[in-house]
Amino acid sequence: MILNIVNKNSRSDCFDQCLAQLNPGDALLLIEDGVLAALDTPRNHQWLQRCPEGVALYALREDALARGVEPQLMAGFQPVSYDEFVDLVAQFRLSQSWY
Amino acid sequence: MPAPGNQPHQHNPAKKLLFRLSKPPYGRSHAREAIDALLAAAAFEQDVSVLFVGDGLYQLLKNQQPNAIDQKNFTASFGLFNLYGISRIYALDTDLSERGLSAEQLLLPVTSMDRASLTTLLREQDQILSF
C-alpha cells in the first residue's frame, strides 16, 4: 500500500496520473496547491468519483489554512498537521510523490 | 558509529529503487537530473528500475537535437545504462499508445506493461523516486 503525495490541483497531468494509479488501501495526501483539489466544489466531486473506494484521503492543514480554504475541505478529507504528515510517511512502507 | 577505515567493508543489501520519470525533456531539468541520480544509484550497486510515465516518454525519442536550443543532449547518458547494468526499463502500454509511440522510435528497449502489472511492480520496490 502506497502513500501518494500530490502538490498540484486536479487539473494537472500528475494529478490524473496519480488518480489512475490509486488502489484500495492506498492513501492520497494533498499538499501545497494540491489542497485545492480537496475543496467542496462540483469539479472536485467529479475527480472524486474516479477515485477507488478504500483510499484514505488527507489534506495538509497548514497549506489549506495558508490559502484560506480550510473550512471548505470536502467531508471525506481528513486535515493533517505536519507532524501527522510525518506519521503517515512512517506508517506506509512506500511513498510516492506526484508533482 | 565505528570509524570508517578500521572496519571491514560492509555490504548493505541492495535496495530496490524505482525511478519514475514523468517530465518531458529540456523544459525543466528533471529529466537530466533523474539520469544523474539513477546512474549514481546503480554505481552504488542498488537494484535500479526505470519507469517512464506520461510525457516522460518523450525523453526516449530518437533524433533529439537540443543544440538547437543551446542545451546538451542528455540522452547520450542512456548509452551508459547497459554499462551500469540497468536493464529494467518500463512504460505503461496506454502511455505509449496515447502518444502513438512504438518501440523502434525509442532509444532504449522498454518493457510495456498494463496498469495492474505496474501496481505489482511498484509494490515490490523499497523506494519510489519521482522526477
* Of the partner residues B55, B127, B130, the one whose CB lies closest to the CB of residue A99: B130
* Range B16-130 has CATH code 3.30.56.10: no
Residue B110 has phi, psi (to 5 degrees) of -110, 135
Residues of B in contact with A96 (CB under 8 A): 20, 122, 128, 130
Distance CA A37, CA A97 (A): 16
Quick: pLDDT tens for A5-58.
999 999 999 999 999 999 999 999 999 999 999 999 999 999 999 999 999 999
Taking CA atoms, A83 is separated from A61, A70, A92, A93, B2, in Å, by 11, 17, 15, 17, 32
For chain A, the domains span 2-94
Mean pLDDT of B62-87: 93
Distance CA B62, CA B76 (A): 11
Confidence (pLDDT) at B13: 87
ipTM of the complex: 0.80
Distance CA B30, CA B36 (A): 10
pTM of the model: 0.86
Torsion of the alpha carbons at B63, B69, B72 and B78, rounded to the nearest 10: -30
**Closest among A68, A45, A42, A69 to A57, alpha carbons compared:** A45
Distance CA B64, CA B87 (A): 22
Residues of B in contact with A21 (CB under 8 A): 115, 118-119, 122
B130 at A interface, C-beta within 8 A: yes
B45 at A interface, C-beta within 8 A: no
Q: Which of B123, B126, B131 to mutate to test the interface with A (most CBs of A within 10 A)?
A: B123
Residues of A in contact with B115 (CB under 8 A): 20-21
Confidence (pLDDT) at B10: 66
CATH topology of domain A2-94: Hypothetical Protein Ychn; Chain: A, (3.40.1260)
Quick: pLDDT tens for B3-62.
555 555 567 789 999 999 999 999 999 999 999 999 999 999 999 999 999 999 999 999
Residue B72 has phi, psi (to 5 degrees) of -80, 150
